[in-house]
Chain A
């Protein structure tokens, strides 16, 4: 299961219908109209997924450290889902994928297994120009249709969804440390430091991905902190955003100020 050629039988027929001009999309009507207004036409609802088993890595009670094997697993599984989604978009001749959602679902597949899924709407420019990124692949972006329109108006073009992740084990406090802070207002430096370090690693990795795409910036960055199923002291830091490059001038009109009567 690596490419569209491995899609189940029947996929060819479905993609054929989509190439014939019929489209599917999970965009809302607002988003659909704004994507059209931005000069793009939706081609199809694309998806990539992987059900992945994460390995095991020992942790030390009193040592803060990155769990590289788990980080690798999170990277690898997300990459599989994203690449498969991109390949589908590529198969449709898309210039990009908008409204990308990247989710991790835990079901009872057995222990340590999770489903990584990437979903979005493949779009193609109506003016015939290519908007692919500098790796020659369709751009991906987790911006909504509204944000996509706005960012295009400000002369930016999305390049790709970039992310950085780091699975980190935060050391427990020793008995002595715990006792010495009883009844006091104090910062717990080892916790603070571990959180900072993990966040820093995740952010740096995201920025590296942005640089590789030749981006001038990353917008809409979200930082998620999740324990998944690893217990309270092991945390995944995930930073994710859309890398953009500036190509043109801002053609965004001045906003009209309104006082809405809604509450």
Chain B
């Protein structure tokens, strides 16, 4: 498989008459064309990185090995995505979907998106952008004078010590905060957010939008609290932000209000 990746990234140059592959919807392709952009090809970036044996079991405090593995996997996958994009002549990748899986011994990252370029352009930039936002969002941002740059991400895994038996027994009938996991969650969150910010700043971004987080104990190591954060780093291209004044519309589609018995009980 690696062979395929290498051969792709070394650039089989796309003849201009080849059919375009993209996972954009019809609306999104039309919108891109309206902006003067076109989809080029579907591109991928994949990386699997090893986590040190015993890292989850024996680690205390911040677990370095898993967060390094996460960091390396995401950055390798996204640079492969850029390489593929450059190889097909794209200026950037939009609508990147990320599959990130953390396993006891390895971290899997798979990124897939559609490479786009200004219509007819054959001179790709040195550093294509990568955006987790849809083509529609790309168009909206462009209208407001912003441009996506790359993915900003961070992860942290922190060991939370258990309560000792006497404390657990004493607290069994009380309303109390559990300080160990709370503190571990805070530490994990702080480190992950800081790493995400640092990766955004390293890209020269002014902000990160569409941040998604995942937090909680790891399924295979319950005493470890993980926090991962990921978003799209953006930069203001125009001199200043251009406000977009929305029109208020009232769609006259068929009524969509349906009676749902479950909704009455608040259990939708």
Determine if B193 and A14 form an interchain contact, defined as CB atoms under 8 angstroms apart: yes
Determine if A28 and B179 form an interchain contact, defined as CB atoms under 8 angstroms apart: no
Among listed A105-113, A135-143, A174-182, A210-218, interface-contacting one: A105-113
Determine if B248 and A252 form an interchain contact, defined as CB atoms under 8 angstroms apart: yes
Among listed B31-39, B97-105, B113-121, B137-145, interface-contacting one: B137-145
Contact of A51 among B144, B171, B178 (CB under 8 A): B178
Closest to A42 in B: B207
Question: With A25-B207, A110-B168 in contact, do A256 and B250 touch (Cβ < 8 Å)?
Answer: yes
Chain B positions within 8 Å of A36 at CB level: 144, 241, 243
Chain A positions within 8 Å of B175 at CB level: 52-55, 69, 72-73, 76
Chain B positions within 8 Å of A49 at CB level: 182, 185-186, 189
Contact of B217 among A23, A108, A253 (CB under 8 A): A108
The smallest beta-carbon distance between B146 and chain A, in angstroms, is 9
B222 within 8 A of A: yes
Chain A positions within 8 Å of B144 at CB level: 33, 36
Chain A positions within 8 Å of B189 at CB level: 47, 49
Chain A positions within 8 Å of B197 at CB level: 14, 17-18, 22, 24
The smallest beta-carbon distance between A171 and chain B, in angstroms, is 19
B183 within 8 A of A: yes
Determine if A222 and B266 form an interchain contact, defined as CB atoms under 8 angstroms apart: yes
A249 within 8 A of B: no
Chain B positions within 8 Å of A14 at CB level: 190, 193-194, 197
Q: Which of A160-219 contact B (CB under 8 A)?
A: none
The smallest beta-carbon distance between B39 and chain A, in angstroms, is 19
Interface residues on B, range: 35 or more
Q: Which of A77-117 contact B (CB under 8 A)?
A: 77, 80, 105, 107-110, 113, 115, 117
Chain A positions within 8 Å of B137 at CB level: 28-30
Determine if B248 and A255 form an interchain contact, defined as CB atoms under 8 angstroms apart: yes
Contact of B211 among A25, A56, A225, A262 (CB under 8 A): A25
Q: Which of A1-27 contact B (CB under 8 A)?
A: 1, 7-8, 10-11, 13-14, 17-18, 21-27
Complex Cα distance, B249 from A77, in Å, reads 41
Q: List 22 A-B contacts (CB under 8 A).
A: A8-B191, A17-B197, A24-B193, A24-B196, A24-B211, A26-B212, A26-B231, A28-B137, A29-B141, A33-B244, A34-B246, A37-B244, A49-B182, A52-B176, A55-B174, A55-B176, A108-B217, A110-B168, A113-B178, A115-B216, A223-B266, A260-B252
B239 within 8 A of A: no
B10 within 8 A of A: no
Determine if B248 and A253 form an interchain contact, defined as CB atoms under 8 angstroms apart: yes
20 additional A-B residue pairs with CB within 8 Å, beyond A24-B193, A80-B177, A223-B266 = A8-B183, A10-B190, A13-B194, A14-B190, A21-B206, A23-B207, A24-B196, A27-B210, A28-B137, A29-B210, A33-B243, A33-B244, A37-B246, A47-B189, A56-B172, A110-B163, A117-B215, A258-B249, A259-B251, A259-B253
**Interface of B with A (CB < 8 Å)?**
133, 137, 140-141, 144, 163, 168, 171-179, 181-183, 185-187, 189-191, 193-194, 196-197, 200-201, 205-213, 215-217, 222, 229, 231, 241, 243-253, 265-267
Chain A positions within 8 Å of B178 at CB level: 51-53, 109-110, 113
Question: With A47-B189, A256-B249 in contact, do A77 and B177 touch (Cβ < 8 Å)?
Answer: yes
Chain A positions within 8 Å of B182 at CB level: 1, 49-51
Contact of B177 among A8, A22, A50 (CB under 8 A): A50
Complex Cα distance, B245 from A252, in Å, reads 12
Chain B positions within 8 Å of A32 at CB level: 209
Closest to B184 in A: A51
Question: With A32-B209, A225-B266 in contact, do A22 and B248 touch (Cβ < 8 Å)?
Answer: no
Complex Cα distance, B182 from A7, in Å, reads 11
Complex Cα distance, B250 from A258, in Å, reads 6
Complex Cα distance, B199 from A193, in Å, reads 56
Question: With A56-B172, A224-B266 in contact, do A257 and B250 touch (Cβ < 8 Å)?
Answer: yes
Complex Cα distance, B265 from A225, in Å, reads 7
Closest to A69 in B: B175
The smallest beta-carbon distance between A170 and chain B, in angstroms, is 13
Contact of A37 among B171, B245, B248 (CB under 8 A): B245
Contact of B267 among A28, A113, A225, A259 (CB under 8 A): A225
Determine if A30 and B140 form an interchain contact, defined as CB atoms under 8 angstroms apart: yes
Chain A positions within 8 Å of B252 at CB level: 257-260
Chain B positions within 8 Å of A253 at CB level: 247-248
Determine if A26 and B211 form an interchain contact, defined as CB atoms under 8 angstroms apart: yes
Give the top 5 A-B pairs by smallest Cβ distance, nearest first. A29-B137, A23-B207, A73-B175, A255-B248, A255-B250
Complex Cα distance, B174 from A24, in Å, reads 37
A148 within 8 A of B: no
Question: With A8-B190, A115-B185, A257-B250 in contact, do A53 and B171 touch (Cβ < 8 Å)?
Answer: yes
